[in-house]
Amino acid sequence: VGGLATYDPGFVNTASCRSAVTFIDGDEGILEYRGYPIEQLAEHSTFLEVSYLLLNGELPTSDQLGQWTHDVTHHTFLHENIKGLMTGFRYDAHPMGMLMSSVSALSTFYPDASDIADPANRYLQTTRMIAKMPTIGAFAYRHSQGKPYVYPDNELSYCANFLSMLFKMSEPTYAADERLVKALEVLFILHADHEQNCSTNAVRSVGSSQVDPYSAVAAGIGALYGPLHGGANEAVLKMLRRIGSTDNIPGFIAGVKEGKEKLMGFGHRVYKNYDPRAKIIKKACDDVFEVTGINPLLEIALELEKIALEDEYFVSRKLYPNVDFYSGLIYEALQFPPEMFTVLFAIGRTPGWLAQWQELVVDKEQKIARPKQIYTGHRTRDFVPMGQR
């Protein structure tokens, strides 16, 4: 914020950092990770390959990917004391709260946690977090179901292992279907990074104090927990269920126009065009529903989108579906309970948070975060004795 001469209510939009990780053109609906279009990565890549790309800036060779996959696979286990911490949560604790607490607890388990200067140590820290997020997420889910935790199976791929830790010895039996594993790869790729969004901003701001990366990522999880950010996909399902039928859509839209509520899953700080991720997720719905059966709420979502995209209120405000509008329908079809949707978002976003944290830590010119303020309070005045107040 330059001379503070003019006050911009969105002053948080001022440039807070330089970054080479992700490029977004909100007007054109473009999203690129290290220059590669999200559409090509979603079609041709895997989540671990994209994680490597975000962290290292280039797509890996076959040997590099092999080593990276080996290292991540061999860090999926959690210390038993972290598992003990998790068993201490209330039976109905929200999985995002459990995730945030457990990730910050990781900072107390590694003597080298605060050593962020050594590249080898940063590699170990980032590998551990990408490896352990699905394990913590799955343990939190099993905790909420009152079921025994399922340990990682290192013979499985990253996404297949996650589905195994979630659903082994329980419904749905189709969780191991390759089409669902591929759908989860795509969803994680689409969520992997998104420039300076609220949660990434939190990771960079907290990370700029040179704290360990586990604590910085825990701050990002806290930001993502909010309904206007990562919690939106859970809110979309609740909204669709409350609408209940396509007949009720006009009344719902009228309420939104009166300011009674927001159309969750619509609108974006940056995209003033269709979120490219929403287009890909909408297509992934068809693949998943082939296996699971069509989510009955899909009909309401499609009709709601059609009506909104033809309505002046939304068109004039450039409100289009964002990444959260359809993702919840897939997660629900995969039998995830709504409170797990944002955990899935967090697992996907972890490589992006870490790539942005790493970029900040190695950039000697990046200083500790200290946003400017516009002071709007009283200026100097004398103390008033009690009898005169």
Q: Which residues bind ligand SDX (CB under 6 A)?
A: 194, 197-198, 228-229, 232, 256, 262-270, 317, 319, 322-324
Q: With respect to ligand SDX, which residue has the nearer C-beta, 111 or 251?
A: 251
Closest contact distance (angstroms) between CB of 233 and ligand SDX is 8
Is residue 324 annotated as part of the catalytic site, yes or no?
yes
CA–CA distances in Å: residue 276 to residues 61, 187, 280, 297: 27, 13, 7, 22
Q: With respect to ligand SDX, which residue has the nearer C-beta, 70 or 257?
A: 257
Residue closest to ligand SDX (Cβ): 267
Closest contact distance (angstroms) between CB of 287 and ligand SDX is 22
Among 94, 268, 286, 311, the active-site one is: 268
Closest contact distance (angstroms) between CB of 267 and ligand SDX is 2
How far is Cα 142 from Cα 58, in angstroms, rounded to an integer?
36
What lies within 8 Å, CB to CB, of 377 at 6+ separation is none
What is the chain's alpha carbon radius of gyration, rounded to the nearest angstrom?
A: 22
Sheet holding 36-37, edge to edge: 22-25, 30-33, 36-37
SS (H, E, C) the chain: CCCCCCCCCCHHHCCCCCCCCEEEECCCCEEEECCEEHHHHHHHCCHHHHHHHHHHCCCCCHHHHHHHHHHHHCCCCCCHHHHHHHHCCCCCCCHHHHHHHHHHHHCCCCCCCCCCCCHHHHHHHHHHHHHHHHHHHHHHHHHHHCCCCCCCCCCCCHHHHHHHHHHCCCCCHHHHCHHHHHHHHHHHHHHCCCCCCHHHHHHHHHHCCCCCHHHHHHHHHHHHCCCCCCCHHHHHHHHHHHHCCHHHHHHHHHHHHCCCCCCCCECCCCCCCCCHHHHHHHHHHHHHHHHHCCCCCHHHHHHHHHHHHCCHHHHHCCCCECCHHHHHHHHHHCCCCHHHHHHHHHHHHHHHHHHHHHHHHHCCCCCCCCCCCCCCCCCCCCCCCHHHC
Q: With respect to ligand SDX, which residue has the nearer C-beta, 181 or 319?
A: 319
Closest contact distance (angstroms) between CB of 321 and ligand SDX is 9
Among 177, 324, 363, 378, the active-site one is: 324
Tokens representing residue 307 in the block: 């009506």
Is residue 268 annotated as part of the catalytic site, yes or no?
yes
| Dihedral, CA of residue 37, residue 41, residue 42 and residue 44, to nearest 10 | 130
Residues with catalytic annotation? 268, 324
